[in-house]
Chain A
Amino acid sequence: MIDKQADKQTAIVSGDEVFTHSAGRRLALYAAYAIAGLVAFIYVLNLAIGGTGSTGSTGAIDVENNSITIALRQEPPELDAGRATDAISHIVLAHVMEGLIAYDIDDNLTPGVAERWEIREDGATFWLREDSLWNDGVPVTAADFVFAWRRVVDPASASQYSFIMFPVKNAEAITNGELPPETLGVRAISDRILEVDFEQPTPYFEKLAAFLTYYPMRQDFFESTNGRYGADPDMMLYNGPYTVTEWVHGSTMRWVKNPLYWNDEKGFLDEIHTAYITEDVNAKLNLFKDGQIVDTHLMSPMLPEAMEKRWQIDRSMDGTVFFLEFNHRQERVTRNRNFRRAMQLAQDPAELVYKALKEPSYLPAVSLFPAWLKGVSASFLEEYPPVKHQMNLVRAREHLELARQELGIEEFPPLMLLTDSSPIGMLSAEYYQQLFLKNLGLEVRIDPQIFKQRLEKMRQGEFDLVMGGWGPDYNDVLTFGDLFSSWNLQNRGRYKSDEMDSWVRIAQSELDPRKRMDAFGEIQRLLYEDVVILPQYERGFSFVVDPRLKDFKRRSVGPEVDYNYAYIDGTKNSK
């Protein structure tokens, strides 16, 4: 009986085994089918995606068609030079438009639409060249500039950059709605002669005239677009080395050589294809590695890989200076000068750059004025060396104690540090948080915000400290020098000092270059003595370019990346 049962059990077990065996085999077969099917499906998907992604893209450089492929960080909101404020619009417009004056590859001013010009104390005259044409074949005339400039200052067009036009007579009054746009101090004497009147002497006007807000625009074309100017490629007129022929919003752009462009020294490529719009530096690095784009910049964690790949790494300064800006409004502790001095003495920008940020192309900032700015004859910082900063904790704590007494408080409230939410912004914020806690016992709270929100909070004054940066609009010390005048809207901390205002006024209108630079020297001294800001670093980029592309340029002033002079190795001479 017992044996039988045992037999039965083994029989069942062996039956089970047989069943499991066959079922297992069938299962394995199904799994194999499923995997094969999945692989095929993924392959088909990949093909489909590949088909849409490569709209004629044939790698970073296409020697046969003399074209290159690039990536942009973002999409330009609109290509309207008079209203553009962002770096990306600037990049695109600098390739498809041209102002009176341009920059050459060595960052010197060079004739653009204007053949020659004359800057006087009360105004300027520009003589326009005859062979500068719009892409429909009509010559660019002085009237086009008059129309464009009037539109910039016209309150109806709401250009955020209208302030850059203020050296032109009546510009400020027109922007404030006090005068009609027709009273702007600019006249077309003839088709070829443009006459400008100044509000006050503006010796640096030629540098301004190279800025994109001063680009021309043709009235009849603008009116024919019914307010859609700059929204699409056919809603624009071009007078630069390239024209935009295709713009798939959010995806790709195609710039093609402008055959009517006058200058043989620019625009060697037949086509520049913006196949990618991405902010992700890692994605851009991968595209570069795969030979899909011609250039990309490198953050410090990517550098060992770049060295291992034996790339030729290049560097450039992007012109921007970053600084910690204090809030000087009434209710803030940062209004107290001893408090600001204590913070100044407790930090060292060199440590921030070398040990925390570790970016080889960043330069520890010694002043609001970056090292590349020109003074009278040499570099501004060489002519007017700023105070050599030394970290001194003993003195820092003395000043903090003084501040405590002056403010009459026992404990300092937590400081709100407004920063942008980028990796670099967060990294420096965390560094400062611990630094001020350790060195001064101050609690710092970090408020990371995206760019637009940060600007809004800066405008509202909702911060004690903010990590600000300022990039140059034109190649003159004044582009930084007037930042902390009491009337400048970019003075987010509302710093107000009569001495500063008087030096800025001198710097704006003084004609003698020596006296003018002296004024900037005084502004620099005041910024340090009053501890208006704490300079952090001058930003730069480490970048790599496909070695076959020559004369690619990254600029401090003007477009961030410039392909106007670029050519593919071996093609330039055959032209």
Chain B
Amino acid sequence: MSDYTASDFLPLSRQEHKQSLSRPSLSYWQDAWIRLKSNRRALASLYIILGLLFFTLAGPLIWRADPASQDLDQVGRPPGADRSAILVADYAPFNSGPNNATSLHLLEPATTQAVRLQWQALEGANGHRVYRNIFPVGVEKAYGIPLAEFLTNDVDSFEDRLDMKAVTYYYSLVALGPHGELLDGAETIEVDVQRVTTLFEAIDRGLISADSDLAIGDEISLTWHPLGTDYLGRDMLARLMAGARVSLFIGIGAPLLFVLFGVFFGSVAGFIGGKTDQFMMRFADFVVALPFLLFMILFKITFGIGPGESGVFPMLVALVLLMWPATARLVRGQILQIREQGYIHAAQLLGAKTPYLILRHMIPNTLGVVLVTITFAIPSAIFTEAFLSFIGMGVAPPTPSWGSMSNEGIKSMLMTPHELILPALFISITVLAFNLLGDGLRDSLDARMRNQD
């Protein structure tokens, strides 16, 4: 075994092929970003959230409709509805004039301004009822909605102005007996209603200029509402934008603030440890037990928010003051864990001061948890706002929020579904986007999952 030569103990000559890094070194953030980028769902959510922020902040600058102004000519219109209208004279009170009618007939062309009917008393009638239906009367004698009742034959005309739509109506005149009961005698006419607007309204709404040469009988287009209007003719798009401001203010503002406080509280408790930790965490437990709704009401009173004023600020305060313990617990747990790690002891032995330890080691290692908490807290805050506005504790009319818009929309769900679907869709998409982004962030920020894919 002693066949070594002296040459064996010479140092090696410098080799040409030595090991080198083939890829540029990646910082924690670069790595996280790369992994987030490869997660398609998270990336799409990120773009949706950026789009929402643009919608909220820049939207009102582009779409300048007033979210509170009421276009009573176009109430509850779905998106993309026909909006051509004929110009007519201003509304004049109805005077039926002499009656030379032989049967139920229209006195003037039927318009959305008014439908004016005149008739000759039906045989054997002691009075009449006027009905309106959107379906033909048919054999069931379903006359539709009773619009008016006259217990005398002296009245021989009627003007209908109730919620006129440019559709076909079936007007029926039904004879009444001496006690106001329905008799068999009835007449029905089919009426096609023309959508109209008055010159005054057209100028008032800025549809035409005051000196334009449009005359009565000309066709114009009514105000454009891309997403339709609500039950008072307010522009849905403008309201969704204004509502987004409230929803996202609460949704992003509150979580940012309470997570910040939670991180501070939790890291102090975790780092100091011992009795202080015990005391601080029991205080956090105490805060968890406080009822949110009660405090919301109390803050509303304390801040002197009178009736008719927005409750958004007390809502923010209540959220911040009551929601932080969850974050604080998470962060404290993390800090306790990190405090005992070997590299911390090593750093301490090498003479690292406490601020350096916290800034360099503690906070970056809790950041993953914290970011994820924020992304999950945002949807829950948006839901809280929606719920509080839904029960009337949030914004005050006319300020919209997505929650209060859903609350209004649900009342006419069957007739005008877009009033409910649109705000509900925005809530759902926002919440889903934040949830998916939170999921993606958790995966990409977790240092232990680094280099595992």
Interface residue? A511 (CB, 8 A): no
Residue contact A430 to B232, C-beta cutoff 8 Å: yes
A:345-381 near B, CB below 8 Å? 350-351, 353-356, 358, 360-361
Q: Indicate whether B436 reaches chain A with its CB closer than 8 angstroms.
A: no
Find A421's partner among B93, B140, B392, B414 (CB 8 Å cutoff): B392
Kindly specify which of B6-14, B40-48, B143-151, B221-229 makes contact with the partner chain.
B143-151
Q: A312-B141, A430-B398, A431-B70 are in contact. Are A307 and B162 (CB under 8 A)?
A: no
Q: Are B162 and A354 in contact (CB under 8 A)?
A: yes
Interface: A542 (CB within 8 A): yes
Minimal Cβ-Cβ distance residue in B for A446: B308
Q: Which of B147, B232, B308, B397 contacts A356 (CB 8 A)?
A: B232
Q: Is A260 an interface residue (CB 8 A)?
A: no
CB contacts (< 8 Å) of B415 on chain A: these are: 301, 304
CB-CB nearest in chain B for A443: B308
Q: Collect the chain B residues with CB atoms within 8 Å of residue A426's CB.
A: 397
The residues in A between 296 and 348 inclusive whose CB is less than 8 angstroms from any CB of B are: 300-305, 307-308, 310-315
Q: Contact between B411 and A301 (Cβ–Cβ < 8 Å)? A: yes
Asked if A448 lies at the interface with its beta carbon under 8 angstroms from chain B, I say yes
Q: Does A105 belong to the interface (CB within 8 Å)?
A: yes
Residues of B within 8 A of A437 (CB): 68
Q: Which residues on A sit within 8 Å (CB–CB) of B413? A: 301
How far apart sit A449 and B38, CA to CA, in the bound complex (Å)?
A: 53
With a cutoff of 8 Å between Cβ atoms, the chain B residues found around residue A310 in the complex are 135, 138, 140, 142
How far, in angstroms, from A444 to B307 measured CA to CA in the complex? 11
Known: A105-B179, A414-B308, A431-B70. A423 touches B135 (CB 8 A): no
Asked if A313 meets B232 with Cβ closer than 8 Å, knowing A360-B162, A426-B397, A438-B69, the reply is no
- CB neighbours of A350 from chain B (8 A): 161
Complex interface: chain B residues within 8 A of A433 (CB): 397-398
Cross-chain contact of A542 among B72, B138, B146, B309 (Cβ < 8 A): B146
* Interface residue A427 (Cβ < 8 Å from any Cβ of B): yes
Q: Which of B68, B145, B233, B411 contacts A313 (CB 8 A)?
A: B145
Residue A526, interface by CB 8 Å: no
Cβ of A118 < 8 Å from any Cβ of B?
Answer: no
> Does B358 sit within 8 A of A, measured CB to CB?
no
Task: Let me know if B232 and A434 touch, CB within 8 A.
Answer: yes
B122-145 CB contacts (< 8 Å) to partner A: 132-135, 138, 140-145
Of all chain B residues, the one with the shortest Cβ separation from A354 is B161
Pairwise interchain contact B134-A445, C-beta atoms closer than 8 A? no
Assess whether B414 is in contact with A305, with CB atoms less than 8 Å apart: yes
Let me know if A501 is at the binding interface, CB within 8 A: no
A106 at the interface (CB under 8 A from B): yes
What 1/0 mask marks residues of chain A from 425 to 459 whose CB sits below 8 Å from any chain B CB? Answer: 01101110111011000001111110000000000
Report the bound CA distance from A308 to B133 in whole Å: 9
**Chain A residue total in the interface (Cβ 8 A):** 49
A315 vs B130: C-alpha distance when bound (angstroms): 11
B313 within 8 A of A: no
Partner of A447, one of B68, B231, B307, B411: B307
B308 touches A417 (CB 8 A): yes
Query: Is B351 interfacial (CB-CB < 8 Å)?
Result: no
- Does A483 touch B at the CB level, under 8 Å? no
Question: Nearest chain-B residue to A372 (Cβ)?
Answer: B151
Which residues from chain A contact B365 at a C-beta distance below 8 Å?
none
- The answer to whether A355 touches B72 (Cβ under 8 A) is yes
A416 near B: Cβ within 8 Å? yes
A301 touches B179 (CB 8 A): no
A208-B70 Cα distance, complex, nearest whole Å: 45
How far, in Å, is A334 (CB) from chain B's closest CB?
16
B residues in contact with A4, CB < 8 Å: none
**Known interface pairs A301-B415, A416-B307. Does A434 touch B134 (Cβ–Cβ under 8 Å)?**
no
User: How far does the alpha carbon of A302 sit from the alpha carbon of B75 in the complex, in Å?
Assistant: 16
Alpha-carbon distance between A268 and B69 when the two chains are bound, in angstroms: 54
A106-B179, A310-B140, A433-B398 known; A360-B309 Cβ under 8 A: no
Cβ-based interface call for A388 (8 A):
yes
Are B414 and A311 interface neighbours, CB within 8 A?
A: no
**Interface residue from A307, A308, A427, A438 paired with B231 (Cβ < 8 Å):** A427
Shortest Cβ gap from A232 to chain B (Å): 35
Asked whether A434 and B68 contact (CB < 8 A) given A300-B163, A310-B135, A446-B307, the answer is yes
Q: Produce 1/0 per residue, A81-108, CB < 8 A to B.
A: 0000000000000000000000001100
CA distance A444 to B68 in the complex (A): 13
In the complex, what's the smallest C-beta–C-beta distance from A481 to chain B, in angstroms? 23
> Which residues on B sit within 8 Å (CB–CB) of A416?
306-308
CB <8 Å contact, A360 and B147: yes
Cα A293 to Cα B338 in complex, Å, equals 67
Q: Which residues of the other chain, A, contact B384 by a CB distance below 8 angstroms? A: none
Knowing A312-B141, A445-B396, the reply to whether A351 touches B72 (Cβ < 8 A) is yes
Assembled-state Cα–Cα distance A351/B146 (Å): 19
Q: Please, how many angstroms separate the alpha-carbon atoms of A75 and B135 in the complex?
A: 38
In the complex, chain B residues whose CB is within 8 Å of the CB of A311:
142
Interfacial chain A residues near B198, Cβ < 8 Å: none
A430 to B397, CA, bound (A): 7
In the complex, A414→B231 CA distance in Å? 25
Residue of B whose beta carbon sits closest to that of A457: B307
Q: Does B412 contact A (CB under 8 A)?
A: yes
Residues of B within 8 A of A360 (CB): 132, 145-147, 162
Contact with A along B331-355 (1 / 0, CB 8 A): 0000000000000000000000000
User: Quick one: which of B69, B162, B412 contacts A434, CB cutoff 8 A?
Assistant: B69
Residues of A within 8 A of B69 (CB): 434, 438
Instruction: Give Cα distance in the complex from A1 to B147, angstroms.
Output: 91
Query: Footprint of A on B, CB under 8 Å?
Result: 68-70, 72, 75, 93, 132-135, 138, 140-147, 149, 161-164, 179-180, 231-233, 306-309, 392, 396-398, 411-415
Top 4 closest pairs, chain A to chain B, by CB: A445-B308, A447-B307, A310-B142, A358-B163
Selected A-B contacts with CB under 8 Å, 24 pairs: A105-B179, A307-B135, A307-B142, A308-B135, A310-B142, A313-B145, A350-B161, A355-B163, A355-B233, A358-B75, A360-B145, A360-B146, A360-B147, A361-B146, A417-B308, A418-B307, A431-B70, A431-B232, A433-B398, A434-B232, A438-B69, A446-B308, A447-B306, A542-B145
Residues of chain A at the chain B interface (Cβ within 8 Å): 105-106, 300-305, 307-308, 310-315, 350-351, 353-356, 358, 360-361, 388, 414, 416-418, 421, 423, 426-427, 429-431, 433-435, 437-438, 444-449, 542
In addition to A307-B134, A360-B146, 19 A-B residue pairs with Cβ atoms within 8 Å of each other are A300-B163, A304-B134, A310-B142, A312-B141, A313-B145, A315-B149, A350-B161, A354-B164, A355-B72, A358-B75, A358-B163, A360-B145, A416-B306, A416-B308, A417-B308, A421-B392, A430-B397, A431-B70, A434-B398
